[in-house]
Every structure is written in C-alpha cells, then in structure tokens.
C-alpha cells in the first residue's frame, strides 16, 4: 500500500512524515528504510504476527508494509506547472490513497502560506488543482472515445457519454469521487487514473493542547463535516507530539510518555487503521520455522487469489487451503491441539479470506 501525504506548505506535512516513518516496528528486512529523501517504508504493527514469531522462532519475520510518500508542498497553479506542480501531480497518481494534512491550529510563530488558519480554504486550494488536472485528462478521454466511435466502435458511446457527464461535474468544482456510486460506471471511470477519484484521509493537525479533545476545535469540526459529506475519513493528530514521541527509542519510555499525554495509540497506528478501513484491506498470515509473514489483501479476496499474493504458482495450481483463525490458534497454544479440536479447516476455491486467517496453501503445478 502506498499513501501520498499532501498539503500546503507549513501545515505540518513533513513533520508528520518524519515522525511516522521513524516510528515503524523493527523488523530485519523492513524496519524503516528511506528509498529516496521523501519516501519511507514502515512496518504495519501486528500483535498477531509478533505472537506467531515468538511461537515459531523463525529465521525471518516479515510484516506487511506501507509506503509513505511526502509529496512536495502545493501552491496555487500547480495544475499549470507552478512550483513543483507537475512533479506533485505525477507523484499522487502512483499512490493508492491520499493523506491530506490540514492545519487546524493557530500559531503566530508558524507562518501560514495563505496568511491565516482556514482548513476548508486550504482543502479547496489543493482540491481545485487536482480537479483542474482531472479536467484535462477527462477532456482527452472524451476526445479519444469520440474518435473511436467515428471508427465504428459503438462500445465507446457510453464511455463518451459518461465522461461528458463527469466533465460537467468537475467543471462545477466537484471531486470525481463524489460523482457516482454505480459500480459499472465506476469501473469505467477508474481506468482513467483520476486524482480526485482517490480515497482520502484528512489529517487534522491540532496543537498539543487540543489533541485529547479534538471536538472542541472548530477547525476540526469543519473538516470532519466535509469528510462525512464526501465519504472520506478524518483523524486528529498533533504532528508536533508525534515528532516528540518518535524521538523516544525505548518502547517502555514511549508507552509511559503516551500514557502521560492521554494517548492510547500513535498517529501511525491511527493512519494505518484508517487506511486499511478506507481501502477495504485485511491481513492474512503464514507461519513456520523459516518465516512468519503478514500479507495484505482486499476484503472479499478468495483463497486462490490470496495464494497468488505469495506466488503465481500457488494460484495457478491451487488445490486447497488449510486455515485456522488466529484467535483459535492462540487459544489452543499448538497446531496439534487446534487440529484435535477440529479448528483447522480445509477450504476450497470459493473460500473468502478473513482478517487474521493463518493459512497453509496446498498447490500442484
């Protein structure tokens, strides 16, 4: 999963990026690595994987990972190439979802690029640039479909009509993700890789004093209402506090510090939970003496396709899956006890994977 962190300059975007990408759970092959100066990979915390690792003592433990991209601060005119506009927009296209950081605190010592704190205005500035970029893409798509129709290919008639309707929607300043809920239309639109079609998590960056009572912040209330209106998510985070937490290396010291602050989870945990929910993702687990590993899949994925995440041969030659729910395995203590109680199931090609399934795939190619 790849998340792009966006926002106007000086809203706390890079502070948050630096904090969360230094807060990853340690792991031999992924703890935290910098791919480029503005890209970080963090391990997804998973107590289930930790338990399996303690139980099996494998040679390697591999968590699921999220790639965060700190995208250059946007300015007005980005869709026309102002500032780092073109790079900004191309970077967003490669992400699965957008984390939109919005400043919701007042501080005269931290300059706001627009001169004042107004989260809805700030969101509109970025969204307008994304909409304008999408308009250009939709216009090209309409032109392409109309040319195909002239060549006698009638299947493009609905595409041309649909994108014309979407163009009108965008010209009204509305986002592509608020255009339609029709599955067939969405399938067509999603082939165009539109920026405003991407699911979004708004991160309301609050002051340290307000993080435990975000509802008292009027700016947060406005962002929350907007997110509800467009089907997005919003989470309150204090980027400054996250940076302070990230500086603590000792887990016990970090836990004590968070307890003193009244925080029961870090900003990274909030982001991961929200992004999994927003994108409809779950994790299944594989375990043994060689490796214990968490795999991320879409909710609703069937067993053969889940097996294909491990290797294409697993999907091609799928026979069956031996499955046990993590909680059952934990309660039983050993696989032998679980089998004796009939909790290890044999599932076929139509089995829909569940979050926390521990699986052994049987295949033959």
- Is the pLDDT at 246 greater than 60? The verdict is yes
Res 28 pLDDT > 50: no
Q: Please write the tens of the pLDDT for every residue from 280-332.
A: 999 999 999 999 999 999 999 999 999 999 999 999 999 999 999 999 999 99
Scored b (16 or more CB within 10 A) or e, 274-295 reads bbbebbebbbbbbbeeeebbbb
Residue 77 is predicted with a pLDDT of 58
Q: Quickly tell me which residue has 């889940």 as its tokens.
A: 306
Residue range 342-364: mean pLDDT, rounded: 96
The average confidence (pLDDT) of the chain is: 86
The count of other CB atoms within 10 Å of the CB of residue 273 is 15
**pTM for this predicted structure:** 0.82
Q: Are 347 and 361 in contact (CB under 8 A)?
A: no
pLDDT digits (tens, 9 = 90+) for 182-232: 999 999 999 988 999 999 999 999 998 899 899 999 999 999 999 998 889
Res. 116: pLDDT tops 80: no
Question: How confident is the model at residue 120, as a pLDDT?
Answer: 94
Q: What is the pLDDT of residue 25?
A: 36
CA–CA separation, 357 and 335 (whole Å): 14
Which sign does the torsion angle of CA 133, 74, 126, 68 carry? positive
Q: How far apart are CA 237 and CA 102, in angstroms?
A: 10
**pLDDT tens, position by position, 158-191:** 899 999 999 999 999 999 999 988 999 999 999 9
- The stretches of 182-266 forming alpha helices (DSSP H) are 183-189, 218-230, 239-246, 251-261
Label residue 74 by pLDDT band (50, 70, 90): low
Instruction: Please say if the pLDDT value at position 261 is more than 50.
Output: yes
Q: What is the DSSP letter of 305?
A: H
Which of 347, 297, 345 lies closest to 318, judged by CA?
347
- Cα–Cα distance between 33 and 41 in angstroms, integer? 6
């Amino acid at each position: 999963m790849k998340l792009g962190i966006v926002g106007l300059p000086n809203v706390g975007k890079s502070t948050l990026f630096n904090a969360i990408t230094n807060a990853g759970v340690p792991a031999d092959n992924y703890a935290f690595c910098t791919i480029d100066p503005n890209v970080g990979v963090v391990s997804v915390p998973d107590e289930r994987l930790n338990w399996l690792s303690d139980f099996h003592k494998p040679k390697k433990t591999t968590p699921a990972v999220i790639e965060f991209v700190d995208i250059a601060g946007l300015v007005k005119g980005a869709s026309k190439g102002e500032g780092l506009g073109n790079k900004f927009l191309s970077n967003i296209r490669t992400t699965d979802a957008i984390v939109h950081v919005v400043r919701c605190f007042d501080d005269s010592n931290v300059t706001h690029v627009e001169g004042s704190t107004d989260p809805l205005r700030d969101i509109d500035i970025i969204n307008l640039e994304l909409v304008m970029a999408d308009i250009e893409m939709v216009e090209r798509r309409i032109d392409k479909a109309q040319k195909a129709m002239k060549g006698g290919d009638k299947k493009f008639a609905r595409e041309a009509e649909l994108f014309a309707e979407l163009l009108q929607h965008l010209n009204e300043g509305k986002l592509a993700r608020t255009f339609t809920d029709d599955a067939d239309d969405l399938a067509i639109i999603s082939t165009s890789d539109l920026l405003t079609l991407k699911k979004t998590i708004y991160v309301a960056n609050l002051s340290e004093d307000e993080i435990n009572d975000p509802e008292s912040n009027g700016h947060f209330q406005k962002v929350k209402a907007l997110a509800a209106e467009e089907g997005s998510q919003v989470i309150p985070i204090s980027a400054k506090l996250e940076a302070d937490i990230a500086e603590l290396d000792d887990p016990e010291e970090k836990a004590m510090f968070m307890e003193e602050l009244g925080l029961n989870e870090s900003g990274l945990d909030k982001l991961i939970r929200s992004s999994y929910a927003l994108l409809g993702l779950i994790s299944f687990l594989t375990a043994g003496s060689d490796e214990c590993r968490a795999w991320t899949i879409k909710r609703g994925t069937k067993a053969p396709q889940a097996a294909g995440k491990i290797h294409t041969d697993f999907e091609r030659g799928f026979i069956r899956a031996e499955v046990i729910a993590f909680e059952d395995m934990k309660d039983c203590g050993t696989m032998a006890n679980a089998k004796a109680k009939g909790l290890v199931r044999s599932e076929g090609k139509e089995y829909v994977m569940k979050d926390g399934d521990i699986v052994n795939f049987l295949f033959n190619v």
